Chains A and B, each alone.
Chain A
């Protein structure tokens, strides 16, 4: 799998445009970046794990927290996002927290599972509406970033690839004409 392919397949997982993809592909003009120590503290990663778990919860298979998507998000934002997107992401963590306080009078970590789902469902809707009107030069929505990185991190993680999906590192054959039956698990990226 080459990187173009990887990204297009990531795009398939995510079902749309990948934030940072144009950047992943074309390289960045990074200037001064935000203070990553602050952004990616242990507490922040733990917080993002809970956000991720709300987006992709444990069901019959493990969820995003088991894949430690919080750390993955931190690494990707630090190493693969533009400084502008880094700032949006960083502010997004506190925006999310503010939204929780406003809605439930308590922080996201204190909210229960139902409340978390309710909050992130609303943010998901908000991000979708924002994106439908967004001009290319306008900033990305922080929740769209969190959701994309959760999906990417989870489905390329060990638990995501091997438990939620099927992972086949060594196919050992190629059959060009294979009858199609829907219903199995989808294949993970190799």
Chain B
């Protein structure tokens, strides 16, 4: 380092450092800065400012050279990210391209990443559900992974805390398996979604089809207006970044809020090499960063480090943070670091038709996407030949009939007139997978990236439990669809690699016992108590809810814990 004088060190010293500016890092930064801590946010990618850096947000379809289709040269160069549903001509600038940040696939794994301020929070599908005790008690009841060190009551107030600020639309459905939250008005179900909801409720005890809960401002409160965000306008072009701030992203919400306090500094282009552990002090003292523009190594110092680099990259940072005390990665006394990685199984969906309600249609576009079916398998007790269960999406829609026969004026007329066909319905599975020691990430022994950081080697796979669960999803949905009078029911399965769900979790799991887990009940390393991990890496099990809301709640809770600990020390 060029300059080691005392002023320079002072300039590089903060109360707290947050590694990562996405879904959970944004929350950590906001909470820290609001509580008056001088906070440095390190972002490995470029800065993306709300509104200013959404280049496609207001483009019309005809303003894209290929009217939305990704050119073949881009596809050819990006077989991995090209498989992501949101990788279109309008949003491809927010995704990591395959060649930019290589990794090693010991087994096939589609690692979908967004390296910029806000991370993947710009691109997420915005579905937000709380966990219940049926989820937190899962590993202990069913004998896998380790027991979660917390229960629903520990995190419930933090769900409320983040929901109020982020803005979550939904109904109070009163379901034990999917606790209600602090909701803005729900987006409505349509005629056939309502019909199916009622049918399922009447015919199937314990099964429910509810309006999907999502992070959209259906009706903003003052706290959302204070963030400069406005009501969702139902454009459903969210992946471009929203000009209204209609959905929650770190870019539109937590990051600008944190910066506005004056306590927060955002440093983009900062790849974290490792967390610096001081053997004498017995704690972490800072972070070693590589500036991606200058390739210069710079050290930043703080009392506390929040690691929110996204699930697998948080594993990478800890694995690469070695010292005499922690030769196998920071906090890794248990040997579990990088292991017990899991994900969500999205590899089946089902489609059908319904001949009815033809007098009804919809108007506008539903940002929530339709209905959500909470897990109904093995909730109260084990009842199948597989562990755990799945949630499912459910949607109904009517398409225009398209007669594209012939050419000429008749063809044009036929295609331009509004004439809807009958209702189509569809559902997709979101299955819990079981974290296993054999599903892991580790540092590649030889290969390094351009900043000298070892590449991550990923070895994660499905198992027999996933296959049985997938079969059950198809059987149960087929039966429910048949019972509801749906016709032309077709099950579809695919062989997608793990990772494409973009719900990878684990490797730095929470647990009560330092011998079998990395983090304690406050999300901090058992063995290095001033490092908190509150992103997907910390998940002991995956359940089947969309995970982001839980990461946010963990992040806010962890900051509160740190600040209270500090107060106790200073008292």
Contacts and interface: CB of A to CB of B under 8 A. Distances in A.
A27 interface: yes
Nearest to B82: A27
B75 A28 contact: yes
A176 B423 CA distance: 13
Given A59-B409, A171-B233, A185-B417, A3 B70 contact: yes
A188 B61 contact: yes
Given A3-B85, A176-B366, A190 B236 contact: yes
Nearest to B218: A174
A158 B75 CA distance: 26
A137 to B, nearest CB: 19
B415 A155 contact: yes
Contact of A27 (B75, B233, B367, B420): B75
A177 B72 contact: no
A16 B405 CA distance: 10
A165 B415 CA distance: 9
Contact of B62 (A4, A30, A56, A161): A161
A117 to B, nearest CB: 6
Interface in B396-447: 398-400, 402-409, 411-413, 415-420
Interface stretch (B189-197, B250-258, B558-566): B189-197
A57 B407 CA distance: 9
B420 A180 contact: yes
B68 A180 contact: no
B55 interface: no
B72 A183 contact: no
A172 B233 contact: yes
Interface in B58-90: 60-62, 65-73, 75-76, 78-79, 82, 85-90
A73 to B, nearest CB: 12
B108 to A, nearest CB: 15
Interface in A144-190: 147, 151-153, 155-158, 161, 164-165, 167-180, 182-190
Given A55-B408, A164-B416, A176-B188, A76 B359 contact: no
A121 B72 contact: no
A145 to B, nearest CB: 14
Given A172-B234, A175-B188, A186-B417, A75 B365 contact: no
Contacts of A30: 72-73, 76
A79 interface: yes
Nearest to B359: A180
A96 interface: no
B360 interface: yes
Interface stretch (A7-15, A34-42, A87-95, A99-107): A7-15
A80 interface: yes
A165 B414 CA distance: 11
Contact of B61 (A16, A156, A171): A156
B363 interface: yes
Query: Which of B86, B189, B415 is most buried by chain A, counting CB atoms within 10 A of its CB?
Result: B415
A160 B519 CA distance: 57
B235 interface: yes
Given A16-B404, A80-B69, A174-B363, A169 B76 contact: no
A83 to B, nearest CB: 9
A177 B188 contact: yes
A59 B407 CA distance: 13
Interface string B352-363: 000000111111
A72 interface: yes
B452 interface: no
24 contacts: A3-B70, A12-B400, A13-B404, A13-B415, A24-B75, A26-B75, A27-B72, A27-B82, A55-B407, A55-B411, A56-B407, A56-B412, A117-B407, A124-B406, A156-B67, A164-B412, A170-B234, A174-B365, A176-B187, A176-B189, A177-B188, A180-B359, A187-B400, A190-B235
Given A27-B72, A172-B233, 7 more contacts: A13-B402, A56-B411, A151-B404, A158-B60, A165-B416, A176-B194, A177-B188
Interface of A: 1-4, 6-7, 12-16, 23-24, 26-30, 54-57, 59, 61, 63, 72, 75-76, 79-82, 117, 120-121, 124, 147, 151-153, 155-158, 161, 164-165, 167-180, 182-190
Interface of B: 60-62, 65-73, 75-76, 78-79, 82, 85-90, 187-191, 193-194, 233-237, 239, 358-367, 398-400, 402-409, 411-413, 415-420
